[in-house]
Each structure stands twice: as structure tokens, then as C-alpha cells.
């Protein structure tokens, strides 16, 4: 049997439970079969949740992660489980957003990564958090994230 880039994945195609915390979540990656080409991968998580570390109340965000892969691609099921693990995790919006980006950068070593955390208001103020790993590579089409600022009702 011929070995493929998918052979070492443990979570895809298997029954998995949601990790209890981001620290317990296992990200998985596969070799990028198009590593000689610069292109953007976008993940959108419009129903991201975490907990306020002070009140325990839920916080909701629309996360958008864009990255230009190098040698590795993140396996999407493992990313979904990692993001889902924040639902029981207490941290401020800034910490959640930047921690996700930094873990992905450390794990994937992409050519470039950015995250937009568009958080829904609590106490009447939305908090949007943006981070990127550096200057975007030349010659790569990086679309706008296109998430409008929160306007409330009306």
C-alpha cells in the first residue's frame, strides 16, 4: 500500500470528542502538495464562542483566518475541534484571538498568517482584534475579510 500525506491523521474519519480546553486540543497537519505555489487558505468561523474570564458568560465572535501555507496545511477537522475547545475557556477577546494565531504560526510555520476576530458586543461595545505575522508575500491575492463592523439593529 502506498503511503499518502494523510496517513498520520488521527482525528479525520474517526469519532472524536470536543477537547475540554485549547491546551488539550491536538492540531494536525499534512504536507502541502502545492508548496511551490503561493496561495491563500481561508477559514471562517462565524459562531466561535469562549467564556468571559470574569463572569463566565459566553462571548461570541466571527473569526476569519487567512494564511499562505509553506510546507504544511492545517487539517480542518483538527482546527474545528481546536476552535471548539474555546467554548469552555475563559479569556479576554484579545487573548483568544492572538493565541489562536500564534499557535497556528508555531505549528504550521506559514509564509504569512492573519486573523480577524470580530467579537459581538457585551456591555454595548464590540471588540474587534486583528493580528498578522508580518508583511503579506508579494504576488499573492489576499482578499479583504469582508466582515462589516457591528451596526446593531436597524
Q: Is 96 a catalytic residue?
A: no
| Number of neighbours of residue 103 by Cβ within 10 angstroms | 15
How far is 78 from 124, CA to CA, in rounded Å? 33
Residue 62 labeled ligand binder: no
Residue 94 labeled ligand binder: yes
Task: Per residue of the chain (154 residues), give pLDDT as tens.
Answer: 677 766 676 667 677 888 889 999 999 999 999 999 999 999 999 999 999 999 999 999 999 999 999 999 999 999 999 999 999 999 999 999 999 999 999 999 999 999 999 999 988 888 999 999 999 999 999 999 988 877 764 4
Whole-number pLDDT of residue 1: 63
Q: Which long-range CB contacts under 8 A does 35-39 form with residues at least 24 apart?
A: 35/69, 35/70, 35/71, 38/68, 38/111, 38/137, 38/139, 38/140, 39/68, 39/69, 39/140
Q: Is 59 a catalytic residue?
A: yes
Provide φ and ψ at 44, rounded to 5°: -120, 125
How far is 138 from 136, CA to CA, in rounded Å? 6
Among the listed residues 36, 52, 66, 138, the single catalytic one is 52
Report residue 87 as a C-alpha cell. Answer: 467554548
Whole-number pLDDT of residue 60: 96
Q: Kindly provide the residue ranges of all beta strands, DSSP E only, lying in 2-57, ordered along the sequence.
A: 29-31, 41-51
Among the listed residues 7, 23, 36, 59, the single catalytic one is 59
**Alpha carbon 54 to chain centroid, angstroms:** 24
Amino acid at each position: 500500500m502506498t503511503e499518502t500525506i494523510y496517513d498520520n491523521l488521527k482525528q479525520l474519519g474517526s469519532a472524536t470528542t470536543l477537547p475540554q480546553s485549547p491546551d488539550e486540543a491536538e492540531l494536525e497537519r499534512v504536507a502541502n502538495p502545492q508548496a511551490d505555489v503561493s496561495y491563500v487558505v481561508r477559514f471562517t468561523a462565524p459562531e466561535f464562542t469562549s467564556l468571559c474570564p470574569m463572569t463566565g458568560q459566553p462571548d461570541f465572535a466571527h473569526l476569519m483566518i487567512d494564511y499562505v501555507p509553506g510546507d504544511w496545511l492545517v487539517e480542518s477537522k483538527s482546527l474545528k475541534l481546536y476552535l471548539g475547545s474555546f467554548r469552555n475557556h475563559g479569556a479576554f477577546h484579545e487573548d483568544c484571538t492572538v493565541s489562536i494565531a500564534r499557535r497556528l504560526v508555531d505549528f504550521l510555520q506559514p509564509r504569512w498568517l492573519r486573523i480577524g476576530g470580530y467579537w459581538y458586543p457585551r456591555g454595548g461595545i464590540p471588540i474587534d482584534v486583528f493580528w498578522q505575522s508580518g508583511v503579506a508575500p508579494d504576488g499573492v491575492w489576499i482578499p479583504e475579510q469582508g466582515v462589516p463592523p457591528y451596526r446593531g439593529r436597524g
